[in-house]
Amino acid sequence: MAIVFDVWSEHPGTSGVVAINWNHTVAAGTGRILIVQTGAFDNALRTVASVTFGGVALTYLVGSRLTIGDTDSEIWYLLDPVVGLGNIVVTWNAAPVKGQGAGARSYQGIDIDDPLGVIATTTGAGNLNVNVNSEDDELVVDFYLQGSTIAITHTKGAGQTFRGDFSTSRSDKGSTSEEAGAALVNMAWTSTSVNGATLAAIPLKPATLLAIRAIEYTIDAWDIEQRIFDSAGHEVPRYKIKPNKWCRIVGLESTTAEVYISNYNDPTLVYFESVTYDGEGDQVQIIANRGDLPEVMLARLTSGSTG
């Protein structure tokens, strides 16, 4: 499943307040993630105390402190944010006097159980780049932040797609981009300023759809002999029933137009994990992914579905 960019939003930038807020709209879709990037500029350390979206707390991911330019950069994220319009609130431990700002972007198609790869970070003066280890189906996202009292221009590296930027009440600037994953991805930014800057990049991991394999067997839930038929409609002798095959149980579930993302999600299907045949009694024991096949049948006859 491909990772899809949703939308970027940002606060117009200010200084001297403890908290800022703005609206962000998350589109409907599965595997959602919201990423918030923050920037604070002051003579003292100004870390973020909390970030919320619609009142739900985000999780801290990474931060960098650079005394050159008094730059404090942080990234926070939220998995499965609520769909629709919500208010993002960023609160610092103390009000940044020189300047502060933040931006947010959302994506779909993330693996909610394992969403993030290994973070790569660097700091320095002016132009920065960092190498990120990722995979072909991942998406590398970054955040480049630089402090400045005069207007500056940030230019993304080759192959990167610009996604948004924000400024503060001064000319401090944060910029974001993304690039398709690969064994090694170099995320780079150049600037018209040599002031101190920070750069962080991390791969987002996509959701993996379970493959839909051919359905080899069919069994009628109301057949007292529990005969199994092949895809051509022929009865399969018990000694020829094989494991590692999908079987559809018909007769209980109503016909539906719903298309399931995988065989595992289809309540009418069971997967034959093992098959043991007893030639003496012409008996076969089938262990399916939902349990022993007779137990599966009984559960279906009782409730209409094993879930």
Q: Single out the residue of 102, 50, 109 nearest to residue 79, CA to CA.
A: 109
| Mean pLDDT on 109-138 | 93
Whether 298 is covered by a domain: the verdict is yes
Any residues with CB less than 8 A from the CB of 63 and at least 6 apart, and which? 47, 48, 72, 73, 74, 75
Of residues 207 and 119, more confidence is placed in 119
Q: What is the domain range of residue 77?
A: 4-204
Render pLDDT for 11-52 as a digit per residue (tens, 0 to 9).
989 999 999 999 999 999 889 999 999 999 988 889 999 999
Q: Is 288 helix (H, G, I), strand (E, B) or coil?
A: strand
| Cα–Cα distance for residue pair 70/170, rounded to 1 Å | 13
| Cα–Cα distance for residue pair 91/95, rounded to 1 Å | 9
Q: What is the pLDDT of residue 104?
A: 98
Name the token pair of 103: 């931006």
pLDDT at 233 over 90: no
Whether 209 is covered by a domain: the verdict is no
| Cα–Cα distance for residue pair 223/296, rounded to 1 Å | 14
Render pLDDT for 61-83 as a digit per residue (tens, 0 to 9).
999 888 765 789 999 999 999 99
CA dihedral 89, 94, 95, 97 (to 10 degrees): -140
Q: Single out the residue of 205, 206, 4, 1 nearest to residue 118, CA to CA.
A: 205
- Domain check: are 110 and 248 in the same one? no
Q: Single out the residue of 115, 104, 103 nearest to residue 79, CA to CA.
A: 115
| Mean pLDDT on 201-207 | 95
- Domain check: are 68 and 189 in the same one? yes
Render pLDDT for 210-223 as a digit per residue (tens, 0 to 9).
555 688 899 888 88
Q: Structural domain tally of the chain? A: 2
| Cα–Cα distance for residue pair 199/121, rounded to 1 Å | 6
Last residue of a domain, one of 204, 223, 249: 204
